[in-house]
Structure 1
């Protein structure tokens, strides 16, 4: 097997697999005679460890994604891979853009970790290709992200909170619970979580406003440029794939990560709202606006951090591992974000 791994410190959050482990996973998925010709570790993320595998009996490569060991997972980010697996039927409106799940194993009997094998999606990561297009064409890209987000937000769910539960009957309960879990993660690393505790208190005090959101909607959790693939050679940036939907939640679309990111700058990204007007509509009135920028925070997904931009309809940042809170935790735990990690932290600062 030709194995290429990303160099990381021994105590890095993302732990690599050995050749023997990769072969064991492949044989569990495809049979005892499976041969792995190559395994290339891929960067671009901060949570799962990901490989592109070349198999002897398959023309196309496959993607192996491996979750952190259970003991290394934060309270606010438990079993994200299982959440993504459970999300697949709910993400049917964008199934044509997503990889197919070829095999999965949550027994942890092979390598002591959850893992999933997905089909390989052709395309170029958007951060690598988007900048080569003239600025004037970027509107089409962000409009397409808005269309994808709108399709996901149109799906109503059974409760507020994580896809796999525990579910909450009220939006405020999901927000407060999430904030407390993040605070516990911060404190477990010896960091001060006073701001998060105050935010949870503010959310509780403003529960009546938060609970104006009566219907749980499917949230992408982390959809933005780093989770999309572009078609090579297209005249305008054209999204041909969407990756890593492991931070989906049931909640308010106004709290979704792409909704926040679309307002981060006054540029082409505002085209997002031409295709996803529902999120913008949440800011229509003074009471609705207070829901997202006042004392009561919006959804704080695992790893979220408060957005301090007075007068703008942003509230709390969703998106799990994209938040500065998680970046601080990983730094304390000795994580090495790698190429993708730097992108994720920079975009929040």
Structure 2
């Protein structure tokens, strides 16, 4: 049995090195909630709530997640006992949705359990890779800045780039970048900016040999995406539409996509993320690990997940230094020749930079489960 003694929530905030822009929002300062779970023997596990400060990506925010953790999920753990982290999702699903709040707590318990077992989180999940390939997101609307960023990222060894697009900023962005980098592996992320009325415009993107186009249509749709995929050659990748295992199963059966972006926070934790990976592997659907402008703790969980065999496309897992002057983990995540080493140490394999964590903490609250 996992006997949790205390759970501490840290509300933190850090300024990004560069603003991150989509057609929906520009993020300058990144807030998050760090979840610290301590057991009776003093082992500590860490998770990270990756919701944004405003509900532009999903309905969740940092504030709503703090509320759900404090008033519902942590009290629920106080009432119920668990023996393995794969039991946490079913327990928390007593309450609907709120996937990112659930994931922050669930991943902390996975880390705690792995440390208690003296196993790496990667091994505990069934990961087989010793290193993972790394991709990067270009979050700017300026073509000049995008080309400059890509040149820098290629020099650092990143293996693919993702461009943020919308109907008024797609061909005019992709065309000059493809001309400048004819062999570059490019994917485009639309964040639901298009509708079926834009089929001809989306068809026009086929000529640029994109790796995929991510979430072109509505955030909660799988029906129209199936229609669109029949009309375009570029593989569709679903992101926001896949919130549960059932979403993934139905999307695959309908032919709504050829690729799924798996984000631990979006699907409610590692257990569901692994189930989606296993299903996709069985059905011949490509998967990759998506990013959320994370701090080092969530980045570490992403690395462990990406070590599973089905994750063959470079994920949005980049070096800590791309976002932060100082991350909250030690060592910081680094990329060498396009790859990130999978830690072999217990749990997530990274220590917590307590000084950086405390310096970034805006508010902190602890809860006793005794």
Q: Give the TM-score normalised by the residue count of structure 1.
A: 0.25
In terms of fraction of residues, the more strand-rich structure is: 2
In terms of fraction of residues, the more helix-rich structure is: 1
Q: Give the TM-score normalised by the residue count of structure 2.
A: 0.24
